[in-house]
Structure 1
Amino acid sequence: MKVTLSDVLQLSVLRNAQVVSTPDLITRPVADIMIMEGHDVEKWVEPDEIILTSLVGYTEETESTFVSLFRRLGELQCAAVIVKLGRYLQHIPPAIKKVSMAIGLPLILIDNHIRYRDIMLQVMELLFTETNRQLRYYREINQQYVALMAESPNTRALLQLLSTILGNPVTIVGGIRWADRTDQPDGTISHETVTPHPANKLHSRSYFHHAFTRASTQHSEVLTKLNVPGTAPQFLCIAESSQPLSDSDYIAVDTAVNFISLQQTIQTNLENVKRTQFNDAIDSVINETHETTANFPAILSEHGFDPTREFFLVYCEAGIDSTADGTFFEKNPVFTRHLILNTQSRFPHCLYRIWPNRLLFIIQADMAIDAVQAQLLTMAQQVTAEKHRQYQPHVVLSPKIPFAQFKETSEDCLSVLLLASIIYADKPFFVVTKNDLGIYQLLLNHLNTQDLEAVIPTELLAMHRAEPDLVDTLHAFIAHLYNVTDSADNLYIHPKTMSYRLKKMTKKYHIDLRNTDTLANLMIGINLLKLI
């Protein structure tokens, strides 16, 4: 533990000293001691330092100068001022006593026969002994972690060792906000409840203290950030369930953080290497590079897959309009990781490949395609409900396929994804299969403009070229089941304006708005116009 003012007052040289202070101030820490016999001492004073002085030069004329000096010492968080009486002053000046009490600066009064040298010698010896004890403790803790890293280098073992040393549970949490830790409805911690821990010389890291209530019981946790490059922010979290952390505990935590960060960095680098190899393997399979394709069943087996089973391919993109530079997943690693973990929690046998703006999931076919599509749809709805600022889920699901059909199916999925992104451009998200495109799947390999124009109703094509805003009006009218008011609301226009436009397209372009077959063909034509 750190040396406190109370420890200093127990020294033989100060046992008879008179203390002018409130009891709570006697527990403040002490880090050093120095002699002050000048008004510029504030240039050298550091926090938690004891000042020795005889108040030489104190007179009625200089009283205000000394009062200002003592006030400044309080601002500098001086531990205490020891005043030697009998050499220059017989009594402590009332003004000095008053300002010291006002600012919470302890005064220790000693007799003239006590030498500065004796005081400094005993205080420095006390500080040295404590520093030496801390170094021995640090060495012991460090040796335990070195031995553990040599024997069983894994994060779980490192956390368990720290938990044993502290006598408190220790976990790793992601970010300053995390789930399931408070009584708040969304299960998060607001930034206002996480406050910086007071720093001292025993530890150089930044700590955060979090107090909260769960099940009507007060809880307290201490957090500090792990230094793992290239990963989402992670914090070491110590629950003060048994006892608050002592100063020695912070030495153990500092040491543990270094080893845990090292282990996490090593693990991250290994995972990145494996991920790169696996990405290369998937690319080779998709491109039918023979060497890797032949080895891919073994890679699937290594990840817990049965290569003789069938698989689903799931391609996922961020919406075209939301990421013009095509690097959404690359620029949002935290969100991407969350999306991957969410997918893997729903599909245990799931591998993935990441591109800057596209994800590929390879899912072992352990369930029917409609069940897989329902799960993916639920995920897309959840993400949309969270109103992520950029992400718009565009998802395509393949049918069940054997490993040998990966390349052909991958090409089909990308074609479906391109076509669906155009057809469903006005939707916040979509999760489709090739069959969901209906008649449009016939166009997957025939996206020639002239061919498309040949199957679009003539009156619709003419209206598109002359008055494209009427096409938008017709689209809204059909999409909202021929309801004029709802259609107008969707277009942000007045219902009378909507009615006027409908009459105009009826008279000018001879469109029969009462014939449902005609309207169905027109809706197909409108979607085909998006492809031109």
Structure 2
Amino acid sequence: MGVSVKDAMQIGGLVKCKVVAGEKGLHKTIDYITVMEVPDVIRWLKGNDLLLTSLYPIKDDEEAIGQLVQQLHAVGSSALAIKTERYVKQIPAAIIEAGNRLDFPIIEIDDEVSYLDIMTPLMERSLNQPDLGKEQLEKSFQWITELAMGGKGIPALVEAVQQMTENIITVGSEMPNLEGISSGSHVAPLTRSQKNELKIAKRSIRMERMLNHLKTPCIVTPLLLNDELYGDVTCWQTKREFVERDFLVLDRTILLMALEFLKVITKADVEQNFKDDLLTEVLLGNITDKTEVINKGRMFNWDLAKDYQVFAITFTSSSSHTTLIENEALWFQERKRKMLRKVNDIFRFNAILTIRKEHIIVLYHCDGTGAPEYAQQQRPHKSSTMDLAESAYRQLSQEFEELQFTLGIGRFYQGLEGIHEGYKEAVKAIQLGKPISGATGCVHYEDLGIYRVLGQVSDWKEMEELYSETIGKLVEYDWSNNATLADTLREYFASNCSLSESAEKLFVHVNTMKYRLQKIEQLTGCNVHDAEKRLLLHMGLKIDQLLQSGNI
């Protein structure tokens, strides 16, 4: 690249940045630009590097932060540019001190300046140098653009880029209906950590991955659509060492790859809309001709003549996470796409999936090779069904850490009408079962108990009056007097009306429990030792749980 740090500060995004230490080293020459989003990036540097980083890989490692500038100086790097605000509020004092001591320029990147704002102008300057063969490179870009616009597809693009880089190129895909291209090699999939690195970097980065069972240096370029990772293009160092232009080639190529992926995504979305329309009629029970519905299902390779267990899955984002989302509607749409792929994988591609309002609905058929196992009359065991639901909950929670899931399971019914009944119960299990879902996040309709009866009530006037006459009085008293009578009653019933056990769980004396129960009787007129009155209090507590969960 051959530009001094001082001159680089007058180019592109660096104009808005400032040198905060090591001003005496501004004469150093920049030949390469590297982004540090992995801890061991130092060993990839060639000398005369400008290193861009948010310090994310080492933000919690004080020792690594203290050694960073010394290590960069030792390998002959030219400058360090740090983006503050997101992961570190300010450049650590140890880095400032080392920069001044070693005359090593430290640059603070303005919050509004992206890595690409810095890299692209500097790369363009390098391409203006005749010895880099800019004209030949542009002809190559024109060639691969014509391949893409001519509909030659991903394989033709891969072959062209392999000729340009003289190294093996592979394409990874997160989409089940778009297979990756391995160029005849065995490629280990990206790890979760590597995927996170790519999503943070949002550009090509150096990595080491397994190619043909050997750890191989590579450049990995993420294919991101709406900040979701849909795939990657990887250039493997198999024939020659990487040069700076390889990064530029991959960054230009990924845009063309994205067009190919968008074609597949658009086609999948259109097909999913047709699927959703058909299944909506089945789920709502709007079936006039069973034969016609079954025949339509065959267009999607479904056999709706079989019997299915119905699962409903809903999710919400934590409030702390949604505050960071610029376009929440778009973010949720991308999340639904990714979840459909994950759910399809969890249920072993043996399920029919649809999105109905805020729920992902799963129609699961067992062919005898997997859970849930079938007993008499092809009826799945409830325990096996719950095992499958809890496994799905764990996998989804692990894959989407920023989301909270609830799974509802309906009872098993046969036939198309059975899908309708199972769907109603699965959704009802979610709506009414959150108070009893516990750590598993899964609720079977059969486990709703009295909630199944309450859920059938269409006129809540009498229920509201019952609540007001019982638990409502306790809630009002607790709020006015900073008391805990409602919680005391709930724990007393949970302890099977044992004074000593409930007192122990509430960390109070037995006499305190007796006093509170007397106060509850005084306020509600219900003696906990009277079976009829105790039932009213039980019902009031159930209604209170429904009120707290927002289902009344």
Q: TM-score range by the shorter chain?
A: 0.5 to 0.7
Q: How do 1:105-504 and structure 2 match up within 5 A?
A: 127=130, 130-138=133-141, 141=144, 149-150=151-152, 153=153, 155=154, 158-159=157-158, 162=161, 166-172=166-172, 181=190, 188-189=193-194, 206-211=203-208, 219-226=216-223, 228=225, 232=229, 234-241=231-238, 243-246=240-243, 249-250=246-247, 253-254=250-251, 256-287=253-284, 295-318=292-315, 331-333=331-333, 335-347=335-347, 348-355=349-356, 357-366=358-367, 367=372, 368-370=380-382, 371-381=384-394, 388-421=401-434, 423-424=435-436, 427=438, 430-449=441-460, 452=463, 469-479=484-494, 494-496=507-509, 500-504=512-516
1:382 to 1:163, Cα distance in 2 relative to 1, 3 A: same
- Would the aligned equivalents of 1:474 and 1:502 in 2 still touch at CA under 8 Å? no
Aligned residue type for 1:74? H
Deviation at 1:505, TM superposition (A): 0.5
Deviation at 1:472, TM superposition (A): 1.7
1:320 to 1:127, Cα distance in 2 relative to 1, 3 A: closer
Superposed CA deviations along residues 496-525 of structure 1, whole A, max 9, x for unmatched, are: 4x8614432147629787899997885455
CA distance in 1, matches of 2:423, 2:450: 21
1:333 to 1:310, Cα distance in 2 relative to 1, 3 A: same
Superposed CA deviations along residues 120-167 of structure 1, whole A, max 9, x for unmatched, are: xxxx999279334434544555566566x34xx3x4665466457643
1:272 to 1:512, Cα distance in 2 relative to 1, 3 A: same
1:385 to 1:526, Cα distance in 2 relative to 1, 3 A: farther
Q: Look up the SS of the partner of 1:318 in the other structure.
A: strand
Aligned residue type for 2:436? Y
Deviation at 1:263, TM superposition (A): 0.6
Which consecutive unaligned segments of at least 5 residues does structure 1 have? 1-28, 32-40, 48-70, 80-101, 105-123, 197-204
Q: Look up the SS of the partner of 2:273 in the other structure.
A: helix
The Cα RMSD (Å) is: 5.5
- Would the aligned equivalents of 1:330 and 1:357 in 2 still touch at CA under 8 Å? no
CA distance in 2, matches of 1:433, 1:194: 37
- Would the aligned equivalents of 1:397 and 1:431 in 2 still touch at CA under 8 Å? no
User: Is 1:74 the equivalent of 2:27?
Assistant: yes
Q: Look up the SS of the partner of 1:226 in the other structure.
A: strand
CA distance in 2, matches of 1:219, 1:76: 30
CA distance in 2, matches of 1:125, 1:429: 60
With 514-523 and 252-261 compared, the bigger mean Cα shift is at: 514-523
CA distance in 2, matches of 1:486, 1:398: 35
Equivalent position to 1:527, from 507, 527, 542: 542
- Would the aligned equivalents of 2:314 and 2:359 in 1 still touch at CA under 8 Å? yes
CA distance in 2, matches of 1:189, 1:332: 23
With 367-376 and 222-231 compared, the bigger mean Cα shift is at: 222-231
CA distance in 2, matches of 1:456, 1:46: 70
1:259 to 1:483, Cα distance in 2 relative to 1, 3 A: farther
**Taking every aligned residue pair, what percent have the same amino acid on both sides?**
11
- Would the aligned equivalents of 1:353 and 1:360 in 2 still touch at CA under 8 Å? yes
With 398-407 and 244-253 compared, the bigger mean Cα shift is at: 244-253
Aligned residue type for 2:341? L
1:239 to 1:332, Cα distance in 2 relative to 1, 3 A: farther
Deviation at 1:252, TM superposition (A): 5.0
Deviation at 1:380, TM superposition (A): 2.3
Deviation at 1:309, TM superposition (A): 0.5
TM-score by length of 1: 0.57
CA distance in 2, matches of 1:459, 1:295: 53
With 267-276 and 223-232 compared, the bigger mean Cα shift is at: 223-232
Deviation at 1:415, TM superposition (A): 3.5
- Would the aligned equivalents of 2:342 and 2:396 in 1 still touch at CA under 8 Å? no
Deviation at 1:271, TM superposition (A): 1.6
1:330 to 1:195, Cα distance in 2 relative to 1, 3 A: closer
1:434 to 1:45, Cα distance in 2 relative to 1, 3 A: closer
CA distance in 1, matches of 2:248, 2:468: 78
- Would the aligned equivalents of 1:398 and 1:434 in 2 still touch at CA under 8 Å? yes
Q: Look up the SS of the partner of 1:304 in the other structure.
A: coil
Which consecutive unaligned segments of at least 5 residues does structure 2 have? 13-23, 33-101, 105-126, 175-187, 373-379, 547-551
CA distance in 1, matches of 2:256, 2:8: 38
Deviation at 1:267, TM superposition (A): 1.4
Q: Look up the SS of the partner of 1:495 in the other structure.
A: coil
CA distance in 2, matches of 1:222, 1:359: 37
Q: Look up the SS of the partner of 1:393 in the other structure.
A: strand
- Would the aligned equivalents of 1:210 and 1:222 in 2 still touch at CA under 8 Å? yes
Aligned residue type for 2:488? T
Q: Look up the SS of the partner of 1:269 in the other structure.
A: helix
Alignment match, 1:68: none
Q: How do 1:25-36 and structure 2 match up within 5 A?
A: 29=1
CA distance in 1, matches of 2:129, 2:214: 40
1:309 to 1:156, Cα distance in 2 relative to 1, 3 A: farther
TM-score by length of 2: 0.56
